[in-house]
Amino acid sequence: MSNVSAGFRLVRAGWVLVREGVVAALPGEELSGLPKFGWRMARLFTRRRALAYERSDRLAKAVVRLGPSYVKLGQFLATRPDVVGNDMALDLAMLQDKMHTFPKAEAIAAIEASLGRKVGDLYAQFGDPVAAASIAQVHAADAMHDGVATKVAVKVIRPGVRRRFFQDLESYFLAARLQEKYIPSSRRLRPVEVTQTLAQTTRIEMDLRLEAAALSELGESTRHDPGFRVPSVDWERTGRDVLTMEWVDGVKMNDIAGLVAAGHDLKTIATNLIQSFLRHTLRDGFFHADMHPGNLFVEANGTIVAVDLGIAGRLGKKERRFLAEILYGFITRDYLRVAEVHFEAGYVPRQHNVAAFAQAIRAIGEPIHGQPAETISMAKLLTLLFEVTELFDMATRPELILLQKTMVVVEGVARTLDPAFNMWKTAEPVVGDWISGNLGPRGMMMDARDGAKALLTLARQVPELAARTDRLSREIDLMAEHGLRFDETTAHAIGKAEARYSRSGRWALWVIAVTLVYIAWKMI
């Protein structure tokens, strides 16, 4: 029955997208056959007033009707332009995570259940909500520290939001399975795997202890950085459903008039923002992955304070070297080196030709060098680069796509502050410093040290590896002699899973068909 209810929720979501004109806004003229017929029918059922809105506005109205889980779905898909396309990803990135507040009494009940203490014992004063998003809302409060009342921000999970999210996730998984089964061309995008990533991301974001840990980690890595910080965490008043942190007094970065009125230098803020982001990415391999202007405050002294660290990105040392060498290669027009980095990192399969790949990279880089530096977008460069790599069978790298999405947002914020912003000139000190420290003699010594540690670890594991190899050899001999066999339990489980998969697909198709007939009958 869960598949039936998931099917109904899926049909309802599709109907809302049709009525709000989201489907009609897609480039349907390029379609043919049944998909084009469906697109034309969607245009007929679109609300007339919806046709006056831009596609991004239609998306915003649709997800508000569908609820908080669809806001998160949209924001997640904004990080996957490889799945939804660059234009749609940009529209989804503009979704505002603003929802109606829930009653203060429900927030108090959630806090007391999570921390096991009365709100009066935790806070000297607990105020009304000041902001609300899809997963949680924020209250202003006063907490006592050493007998002194300190203003804090208290983030509280929405009641029932986990149950609602997991119900909608069933619909997403059903849609992904049907897509993989009936649209073979979509299988390379791995829709079920994408949905699993969404589910994991959502679970992490709904445990506020993990967000607190991310704030703590980023706070430690940036404590000596000029002009950037994150709020400190009050661990005594933080649990699974509640996060208490330092209250931030500042001007939101999307309030340009407010920044000017406060006397801030917008060009300096833009430079500080980009250099801070690149520093976190290259130096630490850990960055705030939701740096839209609503999550960024500027304090009176010009320091940028980033809040809402529910989504964070990580890059390993190999990925950081990959990014730095690509950027430096484009700056110096060394396209062969850029191509070689892709092959060395294992991102492009070895059957392709390095010189041919370098030629494709040159097609991206040369037009850029004919433009003024302030008009060149680093985010657009990475977008074009990923488009080219698809031609050479480069597998999707979620960590690089999240980096690309964040860079698009951060660069957009910087250009809002300074329309003549020169991304390359601003990035060069950070990128150059990282390259000199990690790819020069000092970097080689660090690599040698890491290599020695890896060899020592491997040497310690030699006895265990030898025993495993011996067991594997014996099992292969038995397999060669008797063939590969499943035990009865495994065979039964495979048959049961296959039957369930086929049955869920049939149920979903019947539900969709009956619902569409009902909608058509009501319209007539």
225 is catalytic: no
Q: CA 316 to CA 284: how far, in whole Å?
A: 9
Residue 155's nearest CA partner among 176, 140, 175 is 140
Q: Helices (H), strands (E): how many in the chain?
A: 21, 10
Q: CA 214 to CA 207: how far, in whole Å?
A: 12
- Output the six-digit token pair for 65: 């009707």
Q: 131 near 138, Cβ under 8 Å?
A: yes
Q: 126 near 141, Cβ under 8 Å?
A: yes
Which amino acid is present at 273? L
Which amino acid is present at 212? A
Residue 278's nearest CA partner among 342, 330, 346, 328 is 328
Q: CA 170 to CA 1: how far, in whole Å?
A: 11
Residue 321's nearest CA partner among 308, 305, 337 is 337
Residue 57's nearest CA partner among 2, 98, 95 is 95
Selecting among 255, 290, 334, 433, the annotated active-site residue is 290
- Output the six-digit token pair for 456: 């020592």
Q: CA 324 to CA 354: how far, in whole Å?
A: 19
The catalytic residues are 290
